[in-house]
Amino acid sequence: MKLQCALVSVLAASMCAGQGLTAKKAWTPLRTANGQPDLQGVWTNATITPLERPADLAAKPFFTPSEAAAYEKQVVENANVDRRRSDVTTDVGLAYNEAWWDRGTHVVKTLRTSLIVDPADGKLPALTPEGERRAVALAERRRLHPADGPEDRGLTERCILWPTAGPPMMPSVYNNNYQIFQGPEYVAIMVEMIHDVRIIPLDTRPHLPSGVRQWLGDSRGHWEGNTLVVDTTNFTDKTKFRGSSENLHLTERFTRTDPDTILYEYTVNDPATWTKPWTAQITMTKSASRVYEYACHEGNYGMMGILAGARAEETSSANAGAK
């Protein structure tokens, strides 16, 4: 409890310094019919702020507003630069631009230069030796077996799980959209990618048995003042958020700081992977749009193309007698 208070005050101080979300007149959120602070509506967490602070901004935890604007301009231009190359393969590989991507065009409203707020340097804490070992083994496996079968491909290509669902819910390449619903005993978050719904009970029931593991883990929520605190455990060892293990313990906090903003903060606790817990913040912005159906698996030509292409390449190189 003491630690929690300390964290809050550090955040408040840094927010003030960054001149982003000045903790002005404590805005009182609206309430739902059954008295919960109202988080409902469609929200987007698209942002060009990276998770970790870029090396060239190591000394700069926060942008000034004009620096932020300049950064935004540069990032958006880069995303749309003409990258035609001479060979067909590279040309196709680089053909995406903002017509396709929708990473957002703004940094987070706090103007922090990383999503990570703790450690203070905006970088992930060091991996444990086991975490390092796992990461190396995984990278090696991917190098040696890029496309033996569907399990070698990423979860997005397999249409199983998108980073926007997580949890934690991280912005991704497009469709960073969420719709939040609140009932008397539940908060439900519909994640556009891939029509995942996180249904978070607010009573005091225990988590699922430890033998039961789920891609999105198992979440339990409660209100602390105007902040929804969500505790998630029971992850599988296949979810691997940034290399995490199945013993990842995630705490998320949702606070509506003004009519158009939810401050979303999460703390990752996984002693098997990182030497200490780490925390990130993203500002979610109210969206005028609707959430669409993303029938990922139903239209998954990508997987067939990748695997069949890999098999065709192997056959042709085998036929060509290449070593």
Binding site for other proteins (CB under 8 A): 208-209, 211-214, 236
Closest contact distance (angstroms) between CB of 298 and other proteins is 12
Minimum CB distance to other proteins smaller for 64 or for 236: 236
Minimum CB distance to other proteins smaller for 6 or for 212: 212
Minimum CB distance to other proteins smaller for 176 or for 234: 234
Bridge partner list, 221: 230
Q: Give dist(CA 301, CA 43) in Å, integer.
A: 29
Minimum CB distance to other proteins smaller for 23 or for 197: 197
| Backbone region of residue 159 per phi and psi (left: phi > 0; alpha: psi in -120 to 50; beta: other values) | left
DSSP-derived secondary structure letter, 14: H
Minimum CB distance to other proteins smaller for 173 or for 208: 208
Closest contact distance (angstroms) between CB of 191 and other proteins is 19
Q: Give dist(CA 160, CA 239) in Å, integer.
A: 10
- Is 283:296 a contact under the CB 8 Å cutoff? no
| Type of residue found at 277 | P
Q: Give dist(CA 119, CA 280) in Å, integer.
A: 9
Q: Give dist(CA 58, CA 116) in Å, integer.
A: 13
Closest contact distance (angstroms) between CB of 217 and other proteins is 11
Q: How many CB atoms lie under 10 A from the CB of residue 144?
A: 9
Residue where the block lists tokens 């339990």: 220
Closest contact distance (angstroms) between CB of 293 and other proteins is 18
Bridge partner list, 278: 268
Closest contact distance (angstroms) between CB of 205 and other proteins is 11
Bridge partner list, 116: 280
Minimum CB distance to other proteins smaller for 209 or for 225: 209
Closest contact distance (angstroms) between CB of 209 and other proteins is 4
